[in-house]
Chain A
Amino acid sequence: MRIEPRENQSLGRLILALFLAVAAALSVCSLLILWSGASPVQGWLLMVKGALGSKFAISETLTRATPLIFTGLAAAVAFKAKLWNIGGEGQFYLGACMAILLGTDTGLSAWALIPWLFVAGALAGGLFLLVPTLLKTHMNVDEVVTTLLLNFVVLLFVNWLVFGPWKDPMSMGWPQSAPVVDAAALPVLLAKTRLHLGFVLGVGAAVLVWLFMERTVWGFEIRAVGHNPNASRFAGMPVNAVIVRTALISGGLAAMAGVSELLGVKGYLTTDLSPGFGYTGIVVAMLAALHPLGVVASALFVAMIYIGADSMSRAINISNYIADVTTAVSLLAVLCALFFTKYRIRRG
């Protein structure tokens, strides 16, 4: 058995590989449904119905996809430069914190306030990722571990905020912050649903990131540095500066997920604002093969799994952790599938 690179890479093969990977993940998921005693067909119908079966279901899926688009873009940009930002969860919460810090006691109008909160949140997230990034570029500290560990630190910080100084006296004792002012709330797109402007912003961000990566020098540099830092340095690119830029963009995007989720869905800060959006963003980015526009599609797919699984677990006796298992399996399956678009296995 021998592994050798393919001479040519076709788009058709890529799409086929992604399709097969998703099919593999869904069949593992079917086994789990079978274990619970239900029929997989019934389970899948319930999931599809739960995720797409009504106007409300679709709106819920789009709402769930919104933060995943941002965190998925954050992971996609960083991974392109081989900057392993696993700290999306922490950056998400920092963005949300900025929205509360600047959005609860202000007289600004919505037109000024909402952009201001997004910018401030993105800055906080980007600067926060800068710490592990500079440690990587200047002191050789592995960013995977530092970004991961900082997630725990940030979550404990948020925990302290909502149990301590930011606790809303009007919340009947629940650990949550005071809500942002009405002007900061993102407009709802569809009456009687939770679908908010954040979704449009997320899709817009995906298009911008795509243009940036494909059509600008900075974007090209990010891809080049990720591909081969030594060659990039030889070609005269400021490698460390490129990595720092990548960190600012990636951290900023992850934080915007937090701002959007806070302003669009909850309005106040709690420690369960994110059920792991930062980590799921990594799956979203990988499912999209790190393509910014693909991120939108894969965020929708992952959101469908989560919303569908919630709905299925209410109808049949199955734990909704099945959604997490399915996304984890699809991550691994896509990793393999992408391999087979670039390599083939030969006998002998």
Chain B
Amino acid sequence: MDILQLFLETGFWVAMVRMATPLIFGTLGELICERAGVVNLGIEGIMAAGCMGGWMWVFLGGSLWGGIVFAACIGIAFGMLHSLFAVYLGLSQHVSGLGLTMLGSSLSAFVFRMLLPKATTPPKIVPFAPLDLPVLSHIPFLGEVVFSQTALTLLAFAMVIIVAYILFKTPLGLALRMVGENPMAVEAQGLSVLGLRTAAVCAGSAMMAVGGAFLTLSAFDAYYIGMVNGRGWICIALVVFSSWKPYKALLGCLLFAAFDAVQMRVQQQAGMAIPYQLYLALPYIFSIIALIIMSRKAAYPKALLIPFRKGER
């Protein structure tokens, strides 16, 4: 068992990029929300809802991309709920988010059981096929690791670039960041604080749901209850780790997925010597350690968690 050997295998890097994909969507989504000053703890449930909704769309005869769009719509619906509670009414972002997580997780389990009451073995769909692009997919190493993934993985990478561009190079991005730092100033500019925050939360939630849908439409071909399994919470830790910057978020997701891929390989090779539960716990422990390291100098958006009400200071 040689870890260095592992890094020479292309298969390891392919697995890393695949495992990073849902995290990239989720982390970017949470990043957008938090940049606008709203923590979205609904992420775990929104991912669950996207995971089930996207899968169910395809299972009932829809197209794969239709499933992605449907998942995004579910995400937007949850985003609107979170905006109503946490932005418009200015209620506790924590409690609203946790409530939405409970709602998303339980509702997806309920709908799944209602539509498929007799499913003992999880029914399957035909998921996204790996890409075979001309030229690009045939570049040595990079072609296999990046361009032979499914289209969703490329979409995730593209989203990193798009989100970074919008946030840092456009007036909209400036307004979004300002609304998370100093909403009074945004108000003084004649822009709608509540509108901007709502837009950010809805866009972010849509991305979270697409990240969930990746699990059932690309990484795997079936849905089972409890599938998201804490990935949403890990994304929240990754946002802090990334200092709210999209490219660092991408790096964080890839690093995290690399750890995850290593632990899976080591687990296969080490056999029973170390309890497998320890390996399964490692991703959560890594996230906590990453949080501890980064939190000391974490520059949280100044207006994070603070509701904005016109005329109230």
Give Cα A164–Cα B277 distance, bound, in whole angstroms. Answer: 10
Most A-side CB within 10 Å, residue of B91, B95, B292, B310: B95
Interface residues of B in 201-231 (CB under 8 A from A): 229-230
Contact among B110, B117, B295, B309 with A140 in the assembled complex (CB-CB below 8 Å): B295
Contact among A36, A135, A282 with B98 in the assembled complex (CB-CB below 8 Å): A282
Contact B98 A318 (CB under 8 A): no
* B residues near A164, Cβ cutoff 8 Å: 275
A47 in the interface, Cβ–Cβ < 8 Å? no
Interface string of B84-98 (1 = CB under 8 A from A): 010001111011101
Contact B106 A152 (CB under 8 A): no
Contact among B90, B92, B114, B281 with A319 in the assembled complex (CB-CB below 8 Å): B114
Contact B110 A322 (CB under 8 A): yes
A174 in the interface, Cβ–Cβ < 8 Å? no
Contact A328 B106 (CB under 8 A): yes
Contact B85 A335 (CB under 8 A): yes
Interface string of B136-152 (1 = CB under 8 A from A): 00000000000000000
With A153-B284, A324-B109, A325-B107 in contact, do A331 and B292 touch (Cβ < 8 Å)?
no
With A286-B95, A319-B109 in contact, do A149 and B237 touch (Cβ < 8 Å)?
yes
* B residues near A84, Cβ cutoff 8 Å: 94
Total of A-B residue pairs, C-beta within 8 Å: 125
Contact B275 A139 (CB under 8 A): no
Contact A140 B230 (CB under 8 A): no
B14 in the interface, Cβ–Cβ < 8 Å? no
Give Cα A242–Cα B113 distance, bound, in whole angstroms. Answer: 45
Which secondary structure dominates chain A's binding surface?
Answer: helix
B38 in the interface, Cβ–Cβ < 8 Å? no
Q: Which size bracket describes the interface of A in this complex?
A: 35 or more
- B97 → chain A, closest Cβ, in Å? 9
Contact A139 B295 (CB under 8 A): yes
Chain B residue at minimum C-beta to C-beta distance from A326: B106
Give Cα A286–Cα B109 distance, bound, in whole angstroms. Answer: 23
B154 in the interface, Cβ–Cβ < 8 Å? no
Contact B110 A135 (CB under 8 A): no
- B209 → chain A, closest Cβ, in Å? 17
Interface string of B273-311 (1 = CB under 8 A from A): 001011011001101100110011010000000000111
Give Cα A317–Cα B118 distance, bound, in whole angstroms. Answer: 11
Interface residues of B in 92-132 (CB under 8 A from A): 92, 94-96, 98-100, 102-103, 105-107, 109-110, 113-114, 117
* A residues near B99, Cβ cutoff 8 Å: 283, 328, 331-332, 335
- B307 → chain A, closest Cβ, in Å? 10
Contact among A3, A159, A317 with B90 in the assembled complex (CB-CB below 8 Å): A3
A315 in the interface, Cβ–Cβ < 8 Å? no
A339 in the interface, Cβ–Cβ < 8 Å? yes
Contact A135 B292 (CB under 8 A): yes
Chain B residue at minimum C-beta to C-beta distance from A322: B110
A145 in the interface, Cβ–Cβ < 8 Å? yes
Contact B298 A140 (CB under 8 A): yes
B59 in the interface, Cβ–Cβ < 8 Å? no
Contact B109 A328 (CB under 8 A): no
Contact B91 A279 (CB under 8 A): no
Contact A321 B109 (CB under 8 A): yes
B259 in the interface, Cβ–Cβ < 8 Å? no
A101 in the interface, Cβ–Cβ < 8 Å? no
B262 in the interface, Cβ–Cβ < 8 Å? no
Give Cα A345–Cα B169 distance, bound, in whole angstroms. Answer: 37
Contact B110 A145 (CB under 8 A): no
- A336 → chain B, closest Cβ, in Å? 7
- B101 → chain A, closest Cβ, in Å? 8
A interface residues with partner B (beta carbon < 8 Å): 2-3, 32, 35-36, 84, 86, 135, 139-142, 144-146, 148-150, 152-153, 156-157, 159-160, 163-164, 279, 282-283, 286, 317-319, 321-322, 324-325, 327-329, 331-332, 335-336, 339, 343
B interface residues with partner A (beta carbon < 8 Å): 41, 81, 85, 89-92, 94-96, 98-100, 102-103, 105-107, 109-110, 113-114, 117, 229-230, 233-234, 236-237, 240, 275, 277-278, 280-281, 284-285, 287-288, 291-292, 295-296, 298, 309-311
What are 14 A-B pairs at a CB distance below 8 A? A3-B310, A140-B295, A142-B240, A144-B41, A145-B237, A153-B284, A160-B278, A319-B110, A319-B117, A321-B110, A324-B106, A332-B99, A332-B103, A335-B96
